[in-house]
Amino acid sequence: MSMHNSSESIIDIQGLSFSRGTRKIFRNVNMEIPRGKITAIMGPSGTGKTTLLKLIGGQLRPDTGQIKIDGEDVHRLSRQQLFSLRERMGMLFQSGALFTDMSVYDNVAFPIKVHTDLPDDMIRDIVLLKLQAVGLRGARDLMPSELSGGMARRVALARAISLDPAIVMYDEPFTGQDPIAKGVLVKLIRMINKALGHTSIIVSHDIQETLSIADHIFLLSDGHVIASGTPAQLLKDDTEQVKQFMQGLPDGPVPFHFSDDDLLQDLYTQESPNA
């Protein structure tokens, strides 16, 4: 693999703009994601954090700007090259996205079977090691429908790291998990990142969990990066927007009320709603 480990950043995003229909999701975003660290991309719901991961993975195409992974422009690769680039990426989807027609074991073995010619017993060893890492070696014969949400996400994590990728992307890993499962996932992400030495990108809006593991944080709002830095730096930041998000205040630059109309004026207006 042509990994030149010299450069500081592994993913380099320059001047990225993307829109869905008429809605602009990103406006001229610049980002450098450092190699071998845990980077978190945070922001309120609907700011396109998941979209950003899909752009990095080459599943979506930006309007302008470019995304380079190890110097390769993702959106200039041929379909073939793109698929081989993706062998070096693992992605943990929000829903887990396990293949429902395969057992846990087959799910984890799937990327290995597709991309390597390893003999079956060797694949078995790798799969069992990965499942052991997420603590689910005993669940290998279960089907995805028999797993709890937290277990499904751990299996998906084992699948995402089965080929020892250079980059692992986590899409909202903590959403909808109970505190114990959240704690397990935080521990796993940190441990796996340390053990495998890859780059982790976490997209999340769970402040506590993310702050506890991220080395570097980008804060997205309104289609661009409003702040970036270490967790400590962001906590000290006293920009209104950053403070509102980091401390979870209900009202601020992101208003509590959807519309700006004055309530009294609205109440006293006599027009019928369908006029």
Among 43, 90, 173, 223, binds other proteins (CB under 8 A): 90
Q: How far is the CB of 211 from other proteins (least distance, A)?
A: 26
Q: Which of residues 120-179 bind other proteins (CB under 8 A)?
A: 159
| Pairing status of strand 224-229 against strand 64-69 | unpaired
Residue 123 or residue 225: which is nearer to other proteins going by CB? Answer: 123
Structure tokens at 218: 């980008």
CA distance 202 to 217: 9
Nearer to other proteins, 139 or 254 (CB): 139
Beta bridge partners of 68: 12, 73
**Integer Cα distance of 265 and 47 in angstroms:** 31
Question: Scanning residues 7 to 66, which ones bind other proteins (CB under 8 A)?
Answer: 54, 57, 59
Taking the complex as a whole, the smallest distance from the CB of residue 140 to other proteins amounts, in Å, to 15
The footprint of other proteins on this chain (CB under 8 A) covers a number of residues equal to 23
Whole-number Å distance between alpha carbons of 170 and 50: 9
CB of 177 vs other proteins, minimal distance in Å: 17
Q: Which stretch binds other proteins (CB under 8 A): 76-84, 127-135, 176-184, 200-208?
A: 76-84
Q: What whole-number distance in Å separates Cα of residue 110 and Cα of residue 159?
A: 8
Which C-beta is closer to other proteins: that of 59 or that of 208?
59
Q: Could you say which of 19, 36, 97, 175 contacts other proteins (CB under 8 A)?
A: 97
**Joined tokens for residue 1:** 């693999």
Burial of residue 127, with CB atoms counted within 10 A of its CB: 0-12 exposed, 13-18 middle, 19 or more buried: buried
Q: Which stretch binds other proteins (CB under 8 A): 87-95, 201-209, 226-234, 261-269?
A: 87-95
- Residue from 61, 55, 110, 60 nearest 87 by CA: 110
Closest to other proteins by CB, 145 or 272: 145
Binding status of residue 99 toward other proteins by CB under 8 A: yes
Q: Which residues pair with 72 in a beta bridge?
A: 69
C-alpha torsion sign, points 228, 233, 238, 244 = positive
Contacts with other proteins, residue ranges (CB under 8 A): 54, 57, 59, 79, 83-84, 86-87, 89-91, 93-95, 97-100, 110-111, 114-115, 159
